Amino acid sequence: MLAELFDIDTLIEVFPLLVRGLSVTLGLALLVLPLSALAGLLLAVVHFSGGPVKKMLVTSYVDFMRSFPPLVMLIFIFYGLPMLGLYLNNFFAAIAALVLNGSSYFAEIFRAGLEAVPKGQSEAARSTGLTKHQSILHVVIPQGVRKVIPDLASNTLELFKLTSIASVVAIEELLRSAQIGQGLFYNPTPLIAAAFIYLAILWPMVRWISRLQGKITIPTQ
């Protein structure tokens, strides 16, 4: 029974396919994660420093993207937009869907961090001669980001796992490669191997996040 679930010979045969899939997954992550974080930070800064109209626009974007399932977003971008005359290949469609979704969550995390910085910090920076934008860049953002590092790490972890939806549009990332391998060899070994690869990559990050969260202590009476 165990040999049927995890066959060493099959693993040896499918391993190059899984390695190629892993390289695509890492490539997606290396593009999606920084783009999502940067877009989220920009949205948070606009919300933090902007007027009522800008705040409303950012809030509307964030609420809409967070309520829109990323898988549905990907299907809409790849299959729906061509009907409107806009064509993206499957790789860029996946990046667009993941960045749109990921940036909305990063925006909320960064916004919470920026708003947690005491206003006196910004006022003190302004009193030294810094402009409003300089005080946000050099004082508010560094302090705000430090306050939400565990949440940023958790969201990064979730967004990395979300790259697996790219398999829906036939991108041969790790999950898609494992599915192809399963079809070639007619046993679940490739899928099980892919699961262990995900575990090996993400487990250290999960432990690091747990340690970060453990440092946040609740005051006792």
- Does residue 221 fall inside a structural domain? no
- Does residue 210 fall inside a structural domain? yes
Residue 172 gets which letter from DSSP? -
Q: What is the structure's pLDDT at 166?
A: 93
- Does residue 192 fall inside a structural domain? yes
- Does residue 202 fall inside a structural domain? yes
Q: What is the structure's pLDDT at 2?
A: 55
Domain that holds residue 95: 2-214
- Does residue 220 fall inside a structural domain? no
What is the pLDDT tens value at each position of the chain, 221 positions in all?
Answer: 556 667 788 888 899 999 999 999 999 999 999 999 999 999 999 999 888 999 999 999 999 999 999 999 999 999 999 988 889 999 999 999 999 999 999 999 999 999 998 887 777 877 777 777 888 888 889 999 998 988 999 999 999 999 999 999 989 899 999 999 988 888 888 899 999 999 999 998 888 888 877 665 443 33
- Does residue 219 fall inside a structural domain? no
- Does residue 85 fall inside a structural domain? yes
The C-alpha atoms of residue 28 and residue 160 are separated, in whole angstroms, by 9
- Does residue 81 fall inside a structural domain? yes
